[in-house]
């Protein structure tokens, strides 16, 4: 059984970067944990986190709840860009 923290990290509504997390973890597994081989994946993850963190902060400043848009809302936001 997964801990509550792990469940949160795997929840698409609260974690917008699950795909990037999984891709970087798979890269590390596939490359015997040689970080140099996975730099592009780490960069994608970092960019994802920064992008959604900025959105979250903007929503907080504007009083929009919840701070993190749902998975469905995020999809629509990305499609409109």
CA–CA separation, 1 and 9 (whole Å): 14
Q: Which domain holds residue 11?
A: 4-80
Burial class (CB in 10 A: 0-12, 13-18, 19+), 72: exposed
- For residue 66, is the peptide bond before it cis, meaning its omega torsion is within 30 degrees of 0? yes
pTM over 0.85: no
36: left (phi over 0), alpha (psi -120 to 50) or beta: alpha
Per-residue model confidence (pLDDT) at position 1:
65
Number of domains in the chain: 1
Q: Give per-residue pLDDT as tens, 32-75.
A: 999 999 999 999 999 999 999 999 999 999 999 999 999 999 99
């Amino acid at each position: 059984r997964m801990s509550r923290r792990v469940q949160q990290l795997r929840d698409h509504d609260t974690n917008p970067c699950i795909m990037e997390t999984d891709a970087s973890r798979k890269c590390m597994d596939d490359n015997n944990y040689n970080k140099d081989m996975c730099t592009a994946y780490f960069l994608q993850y970092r960019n994802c986190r920064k992008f959604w963190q900025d959105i979250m902060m903007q929503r907080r400043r504007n009083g929009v709840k919840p701070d993190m848009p749902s998975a469905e809302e995020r999809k629509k936001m990305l499609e409109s860009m």
